[in-house]
Amino acid sequence: MCGIVGLFLKDKTLEPQLGAMLSEMLIVMTDRGPDSAGIAIYGSATPGQAKITVQSANPDVDFAGLETALGETLAAPVAVIRKSSHAVITLPLAVLELARAALAELRPAIRVMGRGESVEIYKEVGLPAEVVKRFSVASMSGTHGIGHTRMATESAVTTMGAHPFSTGPDECLVHNGSLSNHNNLRRELKRDGVRFETENDSEVAAAYISNKIAHGMNLGEALESGLSDLDGFFTFVVGTGSGFGVVRDPIACKPAIMAETDRYVAFGSEYRALVNLPGIESARVWEPEPATVYFWEH
């Protein structure tokens, strides 16, 4: 099954509550997938600064001294804030790609969850309530975010197999469904230089979209193109630095419901996920059409 939620705020006064609202939405969706959970939050960006969210199975070892070591290697100011098995590394945008290479050298066991100017991604094996508590997601503020609770069908139950999948700067994707041509697409993307972290079909979808964007498409065009190239069942919710998109496959058997008010756009696999949002009683609530791209941007 899998459960997906997403929230894109239009009203700035709601921003301090983003993490709390998104956490609540995701916890309601727990019974759609008990294997793992994850959340991506787009916080405020500082001009010239970038963030990398990393994860380690041995955080005590891998995060010890990381700030100093990475700062010296990059010759740049680096800050590392640890949250449980994850850490957010803040550093100058100019050295973001260098930092990824440096991290692979300095701490080979570290996994990069996501990178960009505003996104932070937290995901682990376990139920949403445990995962959001572990990373204090409820206290996070931000402009938009997406979350996922997974019932594994296509690959192993591991931290890296959890959603969201982030394969480009400030890009991330959550998926409910299963793709049938992911192996072939993965081969094609690999030939184009894309690197994969898992055997997961959803990572292929995320990488497909990032790859199209890297080749000059905008997100809307990339999602349209995915409708013809991705075979299988999907409801995708995607985030970018400033935007929030939704698309379902032409068969559209994976559930989806959306709500929009003057204050926000919200997505849930089920209506239950939306019931605590402010003003939901008078919101425009609808089921997204199959093979139709929906997108909002700040």
Residues noted as catalytic: 2
Structure tokens at 130: 């445990």
The owner of tokens 């995962």 is: 131
The minimum distance between CB 140 and other proteins, in angstroms, equals 25
Structure tokens at 35: 């294997």
Q: Report if residue 270 touches other proteins, rule: CB under 8 A.
A: yes
Query: Where in 205-264 is the site for other proteins (CB under 8 A)?
Result: 252-253, 255, 257
Strand pairing class (171-179; 49-55):
unpaired
- By CB under 8 A, name the one of 290, 292, 295, 296 that touches other proteins: 290
- By CB under 8 A, name the one of 224, 285, 295, 296 that touches other proteins: 285
Structure tokens at 258: 């959306």
- By CB under 8 A, name the one of 97, 192, 231, 287 that touches other proteins: 287
Q: Which is nearer to other proteins, 125 or 273 (CB)?
A: 273
The minimum distance between CB 271 and other proteins, in angstroms, equals 4
The minimum distance between CB 35 and other proteins, in angstroms, equals 20
The minimum distance between CB 34 and other proteins, in angstroms, equals 16
Q: Are the C-beta atoms of 50 and 93 separated by less than 8 Å? A: yes
Q: Which is nearer to other proteins, 101 or 286 (CB)?
A: 286
Q: Are the C-beta atoms of 288 and 248 separated by less than 8 Å? A: yes
Contact range with other proteins by CB under 8 A, out of 53-61, 95-103, 165-173, 269-277: 269-277
Q: How far apart are CA 76 and CA 102, in angstroms?
A: 12
Secondary structure of 134-191 as H, E, C letters? HCCHHHCCCCEEEEEEECCCCCCCCCCCCCCEEEECCEEEEEEEEECCHHHHHHHHHH
Please give the residue ranges that form the binding site for other proteins (CB under 8 A).
252-253, 255, 257, 270-275, 285-287, 289-290
